[in-house]
Structure 1
Amino acid sequence: MSLDVHPQLLRALRAVLETGSLTAASERLGFTQSALSKQIATLESAAGTQLFRRGPRGVEPTPAATRLAARAVTILDQLDAASRELAAVDAPLDGRVALGGFPATAMRLVPQTIARVRADYPAVEIDFLESSTPVQIRRLRAGRLDLAILGVGAGLPEWDLTGIELEQLPSGSLLLAVGARHRLARSRHVAVTDLAGEGWIAGRGARGEPQFGPWPTLAGPRVVAELGDWSTRLGFVAAGLGITTVPRLAAQSLPAEVTCVEVDDPDWTGRSMTLARIGALPAPAAAVRTALRHEARRIADWTPLSS
């Protein structure tokens, strides 16, 4: 079966999934609820399967809806990118975008994104502000940022994100960073039990700012040093003075004397990156968003074995 539908039907699907109700989705898209219901019905007919069931708290997506929506995000991103590229033929994109990210994003994700935008849209300027997630949220609310890359998930505070629009970025799993001479350096995967007794190099920042350090589910880790920036922490790891954790988005920027190892941990539910904004994005910021998603996917698909 070939699924050939109008992009608006995919936008309707995404809006219902994100809002959880036909009423909220219709308000977001500017349609009446009746018109939106017809769009969903048309999409279900084209797909040949039910996409939503009515539940006590609104509509509930079927597995088919979730799977189709994952594809829809990519399709709509590509259509948006094509639209911007066509518009740029007669009107080159220009403007300034304020982008925020926590320190680990500055190791690869943000520089690669800036380089990509600069190549595609030379007149777009990106001002990058590196700071922790809580600081970024404050800057976003104050209008000092157009886009902010936030860290969310297990072991992190429940940030107040009221009024902020969120979209998950590909991020990949947490990794273990060890010195090249460490006993685990040649392992592809290790169990959490293999980490018992290790000395850990932890990050140090202002109170309430999350830091990378001991493996999150490890009971009673022994912290041998708390250091303020990544270069210092990784220098200690390279010298064999301890081990630490790193997000996959930073793994390709490690010193040659540091290697990454996967950790098998059924108790770790993981963390993720979220791209945050308030209100509609102007064209330059939308171009940065597209580049961020592309680079984040490339990084998330990388594995230590592929290096």
Structure 2
Amino acid sequence: MHTNIDRYKLQWILTFIAVAEHGSFTAAARAVNRAQPRVSGHIAALEDALGARLLKRGTQKVELTSAGTRFLFRAQRMCHEFGAGIEEVAALSNELEGHIKIGSYPGASAVLIAPLMQRFQLRFPRVKLELIEGEANYLEKAVNAGDVDIAIRPADAPRHHHELASQILCRERIVLIAPSGHCILRSNRPLLGSLVNESIIVTGDPHRHWSDYRDRLDREGVDPENTVVALMPTTVVAMVTAGLGIGLLGAFAAHMLEKANIHAVKLPLPLWQREIQVLFRGDKSADSELATYFLGMLTQEGPGLSNDLASW
């Protein structure tokens, strides 16, 4: 058995199979619902980990190398067995029962958690799902106190309970929102330096004097005239709509709240994205095992739910 199998990500292998079966990076990107640069990155990472070139990149059609042909057979076989295992577990759905308490912040709740709860409930009708929403600090406390089994929250929010287990779920894009007709919307790449004379409205915790994206503005050398910290994304959108400033929001919330009279503009990567983490206690209770299964389903279906709002 390969002693370093943990170096390889399943997403890389699934992407490689898609490229091999569809014959091009473009077609594979459509099939796996990922951006083409992401597909290229997966292939490069897999080839680097293997220490072998798997594909011949031609002008017309991607072809397999000798190593790629051998690896494809094994990869397809592995994925077939993995899929069969998932189906066997799913066949036990009527036997699964319990209660999962999921903590989440509003943007992720709308784009990821709500639709996934619907799918999970259809598959496992005897499992009760409960969503508990809150800001990042509250969610961390809730996990630590056992009030929720897992919590989805921005990773750049301050941590206090470092004994909790965590993992990175995805990277959510950060967008700028402005009223229709605002001069900053006239450029495909907004000039953040022009925000110096603006009021910037962001989410955060005004009671603890912490705000989202302050570190990124500092790295851009932008010191706004005024920064307003709102607890909820809906407040940011309301204030921008009222012409009280320019907003910075996570793409999940902006996608759900965008109106006809305001527009969202994606800011340049990699700076303007944030890691979204999952917090959990790591115990072995029945409910925590159900939560782990829910997290696995979220990891698998999240890319399709979020489209280009986040990278996985």
TM-score range, shorter chain: 0.5 to 0.7
Question: Could you tell me how far apart the structure 2 residues matched to 1:158 and 1:179 are?
Answer: 34
Query: How many angstroms apart in 1 are the aligned matches of 2:211 and 2:237?
Result: 14
The alignment partner of 2:99 has SS state of strand
Q: Does 1:83 align with 2:85?
A: yes
Number of residue-to-residue matches in the alignment: 238
CA distance in 2, matches of 1:113, 1:91: 16
1:264 is paired with a residue whose SS is coil
List per-residue Cα deviations over 1:185-214 (Å, max 9, x = no partner).
Answer: 343321321322122223364533744476
| Distance (whole Å) between structure 2 residues aligned to residue 113 and residue 209 of structure 1 | 33
**Secondary structure, counterpart of 1:157 in structure 2:** coil
Q: Does 1:229 align with 2:232?
A: yes
Partner-residue secondary structure (3-state), 2:308:
coil
Find the aligned partners of 2:209 and 2:101 in 1 and give their Cα distance: 21
RMSD over equivalenced CA pairs, Å: 3.6
Cα distance change, pair 179–207 in 1 and its aligned pair in 2 (3 A): same
Deviations 1:18-39 (A, max 9, x none): xxxxxxxxxxxxxxxxxxxxxx
Q: Which one of the candidate residues 131, 139, 142 is aligned to 1:128? A: 131
Q: Structure 2: which 5+ runs fail to align? A: 10-48, 53-74
Give the aligned residue type for 2:158: P
Aligned to 1:173: 173
Deviations 1:81-131 (CA, angstroms, capped at 9, x unpaired): 753541232452332101111233233222122122123323322211112
Residue by residue, what CA displacement relative to the aligned partner does 1:29-72 show, whole Å, maximum 9, x if unpaired? xxxxxxxxxxxxxxxxx9468xxxxxxxxxxxxxxxxxxxxxx9
Whichever residue aligns with residue 124 of structure 2, its letter is: Y
Matches within 5 A, 1:186-205: 186-203=186-203, 205=205
In terms of fraction of residues, the more helix-rich structure is: 2
Tell me, what secondary structure is at the counterpart of 1:241?
coil
Is 1:147 aligned to residue 146 of structure 2?
Answer: no
Q: Hey, what does 1:58 align to over in structure 2?
A: none
Residue number in structure 1 paired with 2:263:
259
Shift of 1:249: 2.2
CA distance in 2, matches of 1:96, 1:129: 13
* Counterparts in 2 of 1:185 and 1:12: CA distance versus 1, 3 Å: closer
TM-score (norm 1): 0.64
Answer whether contact 2:137 2:159 (CA < 8 A) is retained: no
- In 1, are the aligned partners of 2:93 and 2:123 still within 8 Å (CA)? no
CA distance in structure 2 between the partners assigned to 1:88 and 1:229 by the alignment:
37
Gaps of 5+ in 1: 15-45, 50-71
Which residue of structure 2 lines up, in the alignment, with residue 161 of structure 1? Answer: 162
CA distance in 2, matches of 1:105, 1:158: 19
- Asked if the contact 1:177/1:243 (under 8 Å) is kept, the reply is yes
1:112 corresponds to which of 112, 115, 122? 115
8 Å contact from structure 2 (residues 155, 276) kept in 1: yes
* Structure 2 CA distance for aligned equivalents of residues 108 and 221 of structure 1: 30
Equivalent AA in structure 2 for residue 302 of structure 1: D
- Matching of residues 35-54 of structure 1 within 5 Å: 47=50
- Could you tell me how far apart the structure 1 residues matched to 2:308 and 2:91 are? 34
Indicate yes or no: 2:278 matched with 1:275. yes
C-alpha change, 1:200 and 1:122, in structure 2 (3 Å) is same
Task: For 2:203, give the aligned amino acid.
Answer: G
Q: Is the 8 A contact 1:116 1:291 kept in 2?
A: no
**TM-score under structure 2 normalisation?**
0.63
Three-state SS of the structure 2 residue aligned to 1:172 is strand
Distance apart, 1:9 and its partner CA: 6.0
3-state SS, counterpart of residue 107 of structure 1: helix
Runs of 4 or more above 6 Å deviation: none
Paired position in structure 2 for 1:57: none
Distance 2:247 2:235 in 1: 12
Contact 2:178 2:240 in 1 (8 A): yes
Matched to 2:90, the amino acid is A
CA distance in 2, matches of 1:241, 1:175: 17
- Is contact 2:168-2:275 (8 Å) kept? yes
- Seen in structure 2, the aligned counterparts of structure 1 residues 90 and 116 have a Cα distance that, compared at 3 Å, is closer
Relative to structure 1, the CA distance from residue 265 to residue 48 in structure 2 (aligned partners, 3 Å threshold; closer, same or farther) is closer
Aligned counterpart, 2:5? 10
**SS of the counterpart of 1:122?**
coil
